Amino acid sequence: MSMLQIGILGVAGVLLALQFKNGKSEYGIYISIVLGLLIFATLLGKISLIKDVLNEINGVAGPGNDYWKTLWKILGITYAAEFSSAICKDAGYQTIALQIEVFAKITILVLSLPVLSALLQTIRGFLI
């Protein structure tokens, strides 16, 4: 799907969800979840292209380089946290959404510490 088609699908879904806002508001939440999953499913094709290019770059970087796996984990955490946080905000649970965002940020920080450490060691090796 093109960006225009995704945009039209999103706007149509929002308009449909607005129809249920006064009566059955939970249907609006269900619609937004389904739309989010549908958009993510179409995004998987584009992510596989990015993964192929990154694997090619990883081949140049040398075997045993696990930093790409970490970057993919961080990307997945970011998307999952943003998606679930947005669903919670749409449902009116801003506090839970904020807790999801904080948990994701701390998890990303923990995952990125080995990468940061290796980067600092590399810089230190150049300076000495």
Please choose, from the candidates 19, 123, 25, 122, the residue with its C-alpha nearest in 3D space to the C-alpha of residue 65: 122
Over its C-alpha atoms, the chain yields an Rg (Å, rounded) of: 20
In contact, 82 and 74? CB cutoff 8 Å: no
Q: Which residue has the higher pLDDT, 53 or 107?
A: 107
- Whether 11 is covered by a domain: the verdict is no
104 lies in a domain?
Answer: yes
127: domain range? Answer: 66-128
Q: Is residue 25 part of a domain?
A: no
| 89 domain-assigned | yes
61 found inside a domain: no
CA dihedral 45, 50, 52, 53 (to 10 degrees): 150
Greater confidence (59 vs 50) lies with 50
Q: Establish if 73 belongs to a structural domain.
A: yes
- Domain total of the chain: 1
User: Given pLDDT bands bounded at 50, 70 and 90, which one contains residue 90?
Assistant: confident
Predicted pLDDT at 64:
58
Model confidence pTM above 0.75: no
Report if residue 29 sits inside a domain.
no
In this structure, is residue 109 part of a structural domain?
Answer: yes
| Chain segment 1-50, per-residue pLDDT in tens | 788 988 888 888 888 888 887 778 788 888 888 888 888 888 888 888 88
Average pLDDT value for the chain: 86
